[in-house]
Chains A and B, each alone.
Chain A
């Protein structure tokens, strides 16, 4: 099968699945089972294609240059600007696209027990997969804007239609924040097109022809930082994520965290550094400041938070700090680390949310005092949390390690002091994770009687967690095979930024 068709299938099979599911009846349990199975098939097929065709097609970059499968068909011609149906993968996007296809079957499994609004839940989930896969697969900036906006609405619906207190408000906040982000991205894209005199939104053209200079470059960079920063939940744009994770049903919260940091990090590397490197260079100081603020603010928030769901969301938002540092350090290694962290979070973030969400769901609330020690006997959930938290903290042989390591190593030469501050912040984040985990999973000593224990993970929920934890371990162990993919993608970006400011930016 040619890979151009593969990419189209990976992106649009879930959308077709969503359309089919939207038409299925859900009156009986059997009919609901069909809906769930349909969703699993619609997420499983893109994964199968990604494994057997996409990864097989590109080969191993460690053994030489990778092939870059793509499809480029004209969509709009004869106008002031051109639009293309242009999908493709390169080193920057391949692993993230693969991660999206791999994580959605787990999200379907985690949603398996949902009884209310089954049809709309799975249909919106699949639309979200199409938009995320499309975001990572597209090679056209306007299509990227479309795919950036597309998941916002399904996410807001899923969050806003939850039954927990504050769900509606959280959905509304998500919608407003992310819509403003999408609007900023659109304006930046138009600015890039008009100011550079290009007539196409093609990534390659925008990355190589006439980069923005001066004030337009700075404005575009600011808009891009706002758009992607809002999606990454950087300081001070975190509330939508925290409220969303706290108010949404657990599977929706998992989807929410998958759709946040990886998208923002990739967008910053691909669009800000790739297409507006001069603007990016002007933002070094503010971005470094934001990196530190995001990391410390989130970690302290996670430490002080009484709601474990919200604390978990704060933990995950905190990872945006090192990711920002890696991006703004501009070296091939730090950029690769930032992208790898985004890749790692695609598995780790939903894993943590699943473990904590399961405890809170079965414990009757997310208040840390009400569930303290009650999951001490839930070994599977405990293991899931441990794998997730350890990955987040950069423990070797887990998926987060290569990311953290590369960010630290790649950033140290350029920003020694800030890197040291970030390393300390990572320690604080690890402490926050420890604190969040010890609450429900470790029984406090000296307590004579504990309330009813929380039952362990079983069935589809366990399979979802197992799938994510296995991914965290497998990609941690085999990082040496996969990291070259991201390094291969980031060397061009790093070289381009270096060429813009050779005196300031270290090379490789």
Chain B
């Protein structure tokens, strides 16, 4: 029996093996009770590293003019998928490192949480490889459900149980919305394969399907009308799973949306892009406005991130390859920002420093490292130049202009100004010289490594904008129609 085909699943398989190993630790098969969390974290990190290397190896073997895409039924390994194959394990590593201090909240179930992160990461890969509607659905469910379950690992009071249950119900409802959109598409195209949907003509029903799909996917990231829920859910559940849910959800969601909308339905763009643009515009304006009202930095960052994630929808309004490359670059830049900022804020909260404006006022004089990092990350979240978000915004604005949606470009600029105002307000509070307080302890070594790598990634993504966009453009080449 020839088992050579198994190598095509190597990155995915490595992650699932890692998850099994972490479950072994959870079950007490190895490792003493005291250091299980640390042991399983290093196991998970090792497996994400292996998966990343396997993905890079795949990419290098497909650098020719016509890459030999691997196809197993509805499972496609092309350059687009490989982009996510490399990005997802890197994101998982960032989550595991920057969120390591937050895992205290999940004690003694850290190994189970690590296993869920790895499963969710494999879900991103599965989504990116999805060549039909069902695979995309399974992939998305694999991304979101494990981390929703992970948020139920801390059951300290009825409130936490309720929050986890509410997250589960809303995630289920969002998946159902996504399925409804897919069902319309399947009905219109009489097929579930993406390759057979590209001939669909623009129609109101197609617009509705695209809207349902966009809301189903982007809703979990806080797109309108779920903006309020997303941030409240993030604040109500343990921060580790919440952080992982946002980072991996952004990757998985972008993969699904790109495969489906500009990818499969690119030819029928005028039939659906305005609906998507409206959802994006509402989110982009509402999120920073809500962020402005927050007295908690965690909530403010949550809303700002929601505004950033809505930029993915803006990038989808044009089916050209540069637009898709811009979305890929945007998502790539979002991951280190969200993991580092939420990880750092969680650390502050656990250390008793809090995340309220009164508690953080004057943080610079008490803890320059914390304040400097927070200021940098806030600048990155809102895309102040010269950080990655600035170039990403610029590129999605250009995409919306290419799509003939000038008003959307104006909305993005307005949203950017509002977001910048929120960030600057917090940064000034952090730097208030008149406030006093106790110095803060440094985060753990693992968290510091994670934060350092995230900041390095932010700088690196700016400096290597050209090469990264080149990779993203190659990744956008294979599955997508358009110029």
Number of interface residues of A (CB under 8 A): 35
A79→B368 contact, CB < 8 A: no
A488 and B22 alpha carbons, distance in the complex (Å)? 70
Say whether chain A's binding surface is mostly helix, strand, loop, or mixed: helix
- Decide yes or no whether B50 CB sits under 8 A from chain A: no
Contacts of B364 in A (CB 8 A): 161
Question: B466 near A162 (CB under 8 angstroms)?
Answer: no
Q: Which residues of B contact A142 (CB under 8 A)?
A: 394
Contact of A79 among B379, B386, B395, B428 (CB under 8 A): B395
- What residues of A have a CB within 8 angstroms of the CB of B398 in the complex? 79-81
C-alpha spacing A40/B379, complex, angstroms: 28
Q: Are B473 and A78 touching (Cβ within 8 A)? A: yes
Say yes or no: B385 contacts A150, CB within 8 Å: yes
* A79 CA / B385 CA spacing, docked (Å): 19
B384 A76 Cβ-Cβ under 8 A:
no
Asked if A171 is at the interface (CB within 8 A of a chain B CB), the reply is yes
Q: CB-nearest residue of chain A relative to B321?
A: A78
B322 adjacent to chain A (CB < 8 Å): yes
- Please, how many angstroms separate the alpha-carbon atoms of A175 and B384 in the complex? 13
Given A157-B431, A187-B413, A194-B401: A76 and B465 within 8 A (CB)?
A: yes
Contact flag A175-B433 (CB < 8 Å), given A83-B465, A149-B385: no
Is B325 touching A161 in the complex (CB atoms < 8 A)?
A: no
A78–B413 CB distance below 8 A: no
For residue B368, which residues in chain A have a CB less than 8 angstroms away from its CB? Answer: 120
CA distance A96 to B391 in the complex (A): 28
- For A162-188 the 0/1 string (1 means CB < 8 A from B) is 110001100110011001001100010
Interfacial chain A residues near B115, Cβ < 8 Å: none
User: Counting CB contacts under 8 A, is A74 at the interface?
Assistant: yes
Nearest B residue to A162 via CB reads B433
Cβ contact within 8 Å between B465 and A75: yes
Q: Which residues of A contact B7 (CB under 8 A)?
A: none
Chain B residue nearest to A176 (CB atoms) is B424
Q: Is B397 an interface residue (CB 8 A)?
A: yes
Q: Chain B residues with Cβ under 8 A from A80's Cβ?
A: 322, 395, 398-399, 402
- Most A C-beta atoms less than 10 A away, residue of B399, B413, B420, B466: B466
Give A145 to B390 CA distance when docked, in angstroms.
11
Closest to A172 in B: B428
Question: Are B386 and A146 touching (Cβ within 8 A)?
Answer: yes
| A78-B322, A146-B386, A149-B384 given; A161·B433 CB < 8 A | yes
Say yes or no: A79 contacts B433, CB within 8 Å.
Answer: no
Give CA–CA (A303, B208) in the complex, Å.
Answer: 68
The answer, yes or no, to whether A388 is at the interface (CB within 8 Å) is no
Let me know if B446 is at the binding interface, CB within 8 A. Answer: no
How far, in angstroms, from A168 to B429 measured CA to CA in the complex? 10
Question: Complex Cα distance A183/B416, Å?
Answer: 10
Alpha-carbon separation in the docked complex, A213 to B418 (Å): 31
Q: A75-B465, A79-B326, A120-B368 are in contact. Are A160 and B420 (CB under 8 A)?
A: no
Q: Is the CB of A146 within 8 A of B385?
A: yes
Which A residues from 164 to 220 make CB contacts under 8 A with B?
A: 167-168, 171-172, 175-176, 179, 182-183, 187, 190, 194
Q: How far is the CA of A295 from the CA of B240 in the complex (A)?
A: 58
B20 contacts chain A at the CB level, 8 A cutoff: no
Question: Which B residues are CB-close (under 8 A) to A76?
Answer: 391, 465-466, 469
Residues in A neighbouring B466, C-beta threshold 8 A: 74-77, 83
* Bitwise interface map of B from 439 to 473 toward A, beta carbon under 8 Å scored 1, else 0: 00000000000000000000000000110011001
Q: Mark B367-410, 1 if CB is under 8 A from A, else 0.
A: 01000100000010000111000110011011101100000000
Encoded as 1 (CB less than 8 Å from any B CB) or 0, chain A from 35 to 61 comes to 000000000000000000000000000
Knowing A78-B470, A79-B469, A146-B385 touch, does A161 contact B322 (C-beta < 8 A)? no
Q: For the complex, what is the distance from the CA of A255 to the CA of B30, rounded to whole Å?
A: 61
Check if B322 sits within 8 Å of A150, measured CB to CB: no
One digit per residue, 1 when the CB lies within 8 angstroms of any chain B CB and 0 when it does not, for chain A 67-87 equals 000000011111111010000
**Interfacial chain B residues near A146, Cβ < 8 Å:** 385-386, 390
Per-residue interface assignment for chain B, residues 411 to 440, with 1 indicating a CB less than 8 Å from any chain A CB and 0 otherwise: 001000100100010001001111000000
A79 to B364 alpha-carbon distance, docked (Å): 40
Alpha-carbon gap, A150 to B384, bound state (A):
9
Bound Cα distance A76, B385 (Å): 16
A160 to B361, CA, bound (A): 13
Contact with A along B174-198 (1 / 0, CB 8 A): 0000000000000000000000000
- B387 and chain A: residue at smallest CB distance: A146
With CB as the reference atom, state the residue of chain B lying closest to A22: B372
Docked-complex contact A160 and B428, CB < 8 angstroms: yes
Q: Which residues on the A side are within 8 Å of B420 (C-beta)?
A: 179, 183
Interface centre among B390, B394, B395 (most CB of A within 10 A): B394
With A79-B322, A83-B465 as known contacts, state yes or no: A183 contacts B470, CB within 8 Å. no
Q: How far, in whole Å, are A257 and B324 apart by their CA atoms in the complex?
A: 44
User: Which chain A residues numbered 70 to 114 have a C-beta less than 8 Å away from chain B?
Assistant: 74-81, 83
Query: What's the minimum C-beta distance from A80 to chain B, rounded to whole angstroms?
Result: 5
* B interface footprint on A441-477 (CB within 8 Å = 1, 0 otherwise): 0000000000000000000000000000000000000
Contact code string A273-304 (vs B, CB < 8 Å = 1, else 0): 00000000000000000000000000000000
B390 contact set on A, CB distance < 8 A: 146
Task: Give chain A nearest CB distance to B452 CB in angstroms.
Answer: 12
Closest CB in chain A relative to B431 CB, distance in Å: 6
Most buried by B among A77, A80, A120, A162: A80
Whether B385 contacts A168 by the Cβ 8 Å rule is: no
Interface contact A79-B434, CB-CB below 8 Å: no
For residue B433, which residues in chain A have a CB less than 8 angstroms away from its CB? 160-163, 167-168
Q: Please state if B432 and A168 are interface contacts (CB–CB under 8 Å).
A: yes
Residue of A nearest to B410 (CB): A187
Residue among A146, A150, A162 facing the most chain B CB atoms (10 A cut-off): A146
- Expressed in whole angstroms, the minimum distance between the Cβ of B330 and any Cβ of chain A is 13
CB distance from B318 to the nearest CB of A (A): 10
Which residues of chain A come closer than 8 Å to B391, judged between CB atoms? 76
Closest-CB distance, B134 to chain A (whole angstroms)? 34
Task: List residues of chain B with CB within 8 A of the CB of A187.
Answer: 413
A44 CA to B473 CA, complexed, in Å: 42
Q: Which residue of A lies closest to B402 (CB)?
A: A80
Q: Which 7 A-B pairs have CB atoms at the shortest separation, nearest pair first? A: A146-B386, A146-B385, A76-B466, A75-B466, A80-B398, A79-B322, A161-B433
Residue ranges of B at the interface with A (Cβ–Cβ < 8 Å): 322, 325-326, 364, 368, 372, 379, 384-386, 390-391, 394-395, 397-399, 401-402, 413, 417, 420, 424, 428, 431-434, 465-466, 469-470, 473
List A residues at the B interface (Cβ < 8 Å): 22, 74-81, 83, 120, 142, 145-146, 149-150, 153, 156-157, 160-163, 167-168, 171-172, 175-176, 179, 182-183, 187, 190, 194
18 of the cross-chain contacts (CB-CB < 8 Å) are A22-B372, A75-B466, A78-B322, A79-B322, A79-B326, A79-B469, A79-B473, A80-B395, A120-B368, A142-B394, A149-B384, A150-B385, A157-B431, A160-B433, A161-B433, A175-B424, A190-B394, A190-B397
11 new A-B contacts, CB < 8 A, other than A161-B431, A167-B433, A194-B401, are: A74-B466, A75-B465, A76-B391, A79-B322, A79-B325, A79-B473, A81-B398, A146-B390, A157-B431, A160-B428, A160-B433
